Amino acid sequence: MSACTLGIYELYWFYKNWVLIKARSNKRIMPFLRALFAPLWAYSCFKYIKLAANEKGVPAPSLIGILAVFYFILQSLWRLPNPYWLASMLSFVPLIPMNAAALEINKKIEAIGSENSKITLWNWVALVGGGALLVFAIIGSFLPDA
């Protein structure tokens, strides 16, 4: 979903995680702003996920700092010239282990894990429409300048 939505799904992922973190920690945080500035707040989000995983006895990545730096760097690569900016499309990779831990935490706490397990109509629209746009962007990146 992340690549086909050109990274917008990552904002949604961070937003939903910050909403849960806010509800569970009773901290005064603004999930929307933390999601909007996700590259700067990724470490903090990962830290909350790791703490919750430790509390629930769920395995979580131990090198969250490296994952956060990796995410920040990948998010910064969109500024590179063609075709090197395409590497920024891999910014979802550091989220994979954190998402796996978050899903396990949610399964232990409540039945949230199944909430987002099916592909909806909107998911299909994003996958097909965004996927086509991504294919055109990739092709355009390799075409010579006119």
pLDDT (tens digit per residue) in 9-37: 999 999 999 999 999 898 999 999 999 99
Q: Give this prediction's pTM.
A: 0.85
pLDDT (tens digit per residue) in 47-58: 999 999 999 999
List the one residue out of 56, 146, 60 whose CA is nearest residue 110: 56
Tokens found for residue 89? 């499309």
* Average pLDDT for 69-90: 93
Per-residue model confidence (pLDDT) at position 83: 87
- For the chain, the distance separating the N- and C-terminal CA atoms, rounded to the nearest angstrom, is 32
Q: Which residue has the tokens 């099916």?
A: 118
Q: Are the C-beta atoms of residues 82 and 142 closer than 8 Å to each other?
A: yes
Is 76 a residue whose pLDDT tops 70? yes
Per-residue model confidence (pLDDT) at position 119: 81
Q: How far apart are CA 43 and CA 71, in angstroms?
A: 9
Q: How far apart are CA 51 and CA 28, in angstroms?
A: 18
Angle between helices 64-76 and 95-109 (to 10 degrees): 130
Averaged pLDDT of the chain: 90
* Average pLDDT for 52-80: 95
Q: Are the C-beta atoms of residues 104 and 53 closer than 8 Å to each other?
A: yes
pLDDT (tens digit per residue) in 86-145: 899 999 999 999 999 999 998 888 765 556 678 888 888 888 888 888 888 888 888 887
Judged on CB neighbours under 10 Å (0-12, 13-18, 19+), 72 is middle
Angle between helices 38-56 and 8-25 (to 10 degrees): 50
- Would the CA dihedral through 65, 68, 69, 70 be positive or negative? positive
